[in-house]
Copies of this chain bind each other. A is one copy, B any other.
Amino acid sequence: MFSKTTEYALRATIFIAQKGTADQKLSIDEIAKAIDSPKSFTAKILQILTKDNKVISSTRGPHGGFYMTQQSKKLPVRVILNAVGEDEVLCKCILGLNQCSEEKPCPMHDEYKHIKKKLIKLFEKKTIQYLANETSKEHIFINNEKPF
């Protein structure tokens, strides 16, 4: 469904929301390790998400790193998709038609629109905080570790 960029962005943000605070900031190394993503690529993605400190906050230098404000954690998950420019995937026609709409639908439109609505709602209603809380539960995880 999503590109790697988006998958890493989601996982990284969840991890930062869960573990990063203003006085316990997280380094790129820690983040990449925690979510099992390539380090340099993760740095690039974090660069996007910290742009203007809108979603993720960061500071450089010793004890620097990434964290999130309480305010940012209340943002809907969709802001992450928005930041990496993969927002449209949710509302796109499933047959890839540009002009597919309620008035001029494709043959899958009427069936798919209900699913699409739920998908959009999921990303609109759930907050980053919610996902971070979920991840704090014992059996829930955000990395790709081999089971043994």
Contact = CB atoms under 8 A, between A and B. Distances in A.
A38 to B, nearest CB: 13
Number of copies: 2
Given A112-B122, A118-B114, A144 B2 contact: no
A46 to B, nearest CB: 17
How many residues of A sit at the interface, in one of the four size bands?
Answer: 35 or more
A41 B107 CA distance: 22
B4 A106 contact: no
Contact of A107 (B96, B134, B144): B134
Nearest to A96: B7
A49 to B, nearest CB: 16
Nearest to A115: B118
A99 B2 contact: no
A139 interface: yes
Contacts of A115: 115, 118-119, 122
Interface stretch (A51-59, A67-75, A87-95): A87-95
A147 B97 CA distance: 12
Interface in A106-138: 106-112, 114-115, 118-119, 122, 126, 131-132, 134-135
Given A97-B143, A104-B141, 13 more contacts: A95-B142, A99-B145, A99-B147, A105-B139, A105-B140, A105-B141, A106-B140, A107-B132, A107-B140, A108-B126, A109-B140, A111-B126, A115-B115
9 smallest A-B Cβ distances: which pairs? Answer: A7-B96, A107-B134, A107-B131, A107-B135, A115-B118, A107-B140, A10-B95, A115-B119, A111-B122
